[in-house]
Amino acid sequence: MGKAYVITSGKGGVGKTTSTANIGTALAMMGKKVCLMDLDLGLRNLDVVLGLDNRIMYDIVDVADGRAKLAQALVKDKRFDDLLYLLPAAQNTDKDALNENQVMDIVEELKPEFDYVLIDCPAGIEQGFMNAIAGADSAIIVTTPEISAVRDADRVVGLLEQNPLQEQPQLIINRIRKHMMDDGSVMDIDEITHHLGVDLLGVIVDDDEVISTSNHGEPVVLDTDSLAGQGYRDIARRLEGESVPLMNLETETAKPGFWQRVTGWFKRS
Amino acid sequence: MEAAVLKGTQNGYELIFDDRAAMEDVFSTLEKLLDSLKTQTITSNKQISFDIMAGNRIITANDRQRLETVFANYDTFSIHKIVSDAITKEKAKSIKEQENVHVMARTIRNGQDVTVEGDVLFLGQIHQGGKLLVSGNIFVMGNVEGIIQAGFPNVENKFIIGDVRSAQQVRIGEQFAVMDDDMRAKINSRTIMYINDLHTLEFGELNELKQISPKFFNQIGGITNG
């Protein structure tokens, strides 16, 4: 029986979809069977980031309304044999086209088949958010060091406290610019984690590669040299229960050989 | 004992209801009683006002309304007050709440409004955008970055004591202060906030509390010297 994680943030544009695609891909690289579920109805992007947009036949609303079977709607990512699947969102409806029970049923149907079900939550805290958390066992909250993103993440943590999932939420701090944290112009990692009172799952540095790779439909985790990719691979290993120390932002450039060794080791596993 | 009995006291007339009788019996007896009383007092037009003693019975809003309709049939009779020795558990709880000092250690996050009856000793955290609305006084020992209000919604004789320099807004009753840099410069970690006689929010020092409000000072256990 797999576990369902919802990836959420409150605020838009902080990297929910990118994180979903990359964590899912990293887990598939580790040999786990993963289903990525896009719930951003009407504004779907997860298929584009994964480079699967041209293979969609049916979407989640078709499944919920009985127009297609779940297996028909799942899109397989051929790069990972039989490990990574996408359940696309509908593009021609809005967030109210689904309700909590329909999402819950679909997640329950997916969980026995997969090790991980990652639910990409739409921005906002309306029906789409409620749908996304309804089926999840745990939540991963994505924020950036900007005050507006942290404020919205705080709101989401509050909402998750009111509708508790089986497990405590975890936090990803995305788009970290080391020099801005150092000169104090943004909140640092400890401050954000302490303020939100949520366990830290991982940190992702701001990296141009994230955008350029996703423009090619290739998640950045596939790039072994990228620091952001490294961050996502670390997160995947932590989800698997390994204890991986937090990326040392100080020495990131000083010791490139170290990362080479880590990723080399990672590939063998 | 009859279901309803008339009794004269120094202060006027009392109607005593038997709290073990059925409410229907009380009403029928009451009507008979008032009818006979009406015939006896028909000559004088003097207004008579009754105190209704309900004993250990809760007079519901329905009962109250029905009593009023009964009395409306008689020109010269009216209800002065209804006294009941019983209160509902809910009411009792709310009275208890109002007198309690609630110790709160929770985190109030952005978008959450927490409403409390009574006083609060706050040890937790209020994040920006969170609100703590308290009907009584607030003693702050935790970290307030959101909005706190004492005397919610509109009671003015309440106090906020503690460090609120990092708050967004501080409110007492309907008065409020926005915590900008000017405001922060006026206060310290031992400031007390209250509403003065001119109905504006004022800041004082903790050691002046006795002068500002002797009543509140005694209520929270202050001991006057000598």
Alpha-carbon distance A126 to A121, whole Å? Answer: 11
Q: CB-based contact (8 Å) between A197 and chain B?
A: yes
Tokens of B224: 């006057």
Residue B49 has pLDDT above 70, yes or no: yes
Per-residue pLDDT, B223: 60
Per CB-CB distance under 8 Å, the chain B contacts of A161 are 109
Per-residue pLDDT, A268: 60
Q: CB-based contact (8 Å) between A194 and chain B?
A: no
* Residue B42 CB-density burial (10 A; 0-12 exposed, 13-18 middle, 19+ buried): exposed
Residues 6+ apart with CB under 8 A from A188: A145, A181
Per-residue pLDDT, A123: 92
Per-residue pLDDT, B214: 84
Residue A253 has pLDDT above 60, yes or no: no
Residue B169 has pLDDT above 90, yes or no: yes
Residues of B near A (Cβ–Cβ under 8 Å) read: 107, 109-112, 127-130
Residue A252 has pLDDT above 60, yes or no: no
Alpha-carbon distance A265 to A261, whole Å? Answer: 6
State mean pLDDT over B72-100: 86
Per-residue pLDDT, A254: 47
Helices (H), chain A: 16-29, 46-50, 60-64, 70-73, 100-110, 127-134, 147-162, 178-182, 189-196, 208-215, 227-239, 256-268
Residue A247 has pLDDT above 90, yes or no: no
DSSP H or E segment with residue A57: none
Mutate which of B108, B126, B127 to disrupt the A interface (most A C-beta within 10 Å)? Answer: B127
pLDDT tens across A42-60, in order? 889 999 999 998 899 999 9
Per-residue pLDDT, B98: 77
**pLDDT band of B226, cuts 50, 70, 90:** very low
Contact indicator for B50, B88 with CB cutoff of 8 Å: no
pLDDT tens across B125-140, in order? 999 999 999 999 999 9
Distance from B160 to chain A by nearest Cα, in Å? 24
Of A3-17, A167-181, A217-231, B84-98, which range is least confident?
A: B84-98
Predicted model pTM: 0.73
Among chain B residues, CA nearest to A153? B110
pLDDT tens across B180-210, in order? 888 888 888 888 999 988 999 988 888 888 8
With CB atoms and an 8 Å threshold, state whether B128 touches A197.
no
Per-residue pLDDT, B42: 66
More confident residue, A269 or B57: B57
Alpha-carbon distance B132 to B167, whole Å? Answer: 11
**pLDDT band of A122, cuts 50, 70, 90:** very high
State mean pLDDT over A8-25: 94
With CB atoms and an 8 Å threshold, state whether B110 touches A155.
yes
Tokens of A131: 């749908």
**pLDDT band of B217, cuts 50, 70, 90:** confident
With CB atoms and an 8 Å threshold, state whether B127 touches A161.
no
**pLDDT band of B213, cuts 50, 70, 90:** confident
**pLDDT band of A251, cuts 50, 70, 90:** very low
Residue A255 has pLDDT above 60, yes or no: no
Distance from A15 to chain B by nearest Cα, in Å? 21
Pairing of strands A116-120, A170-176: unpaired
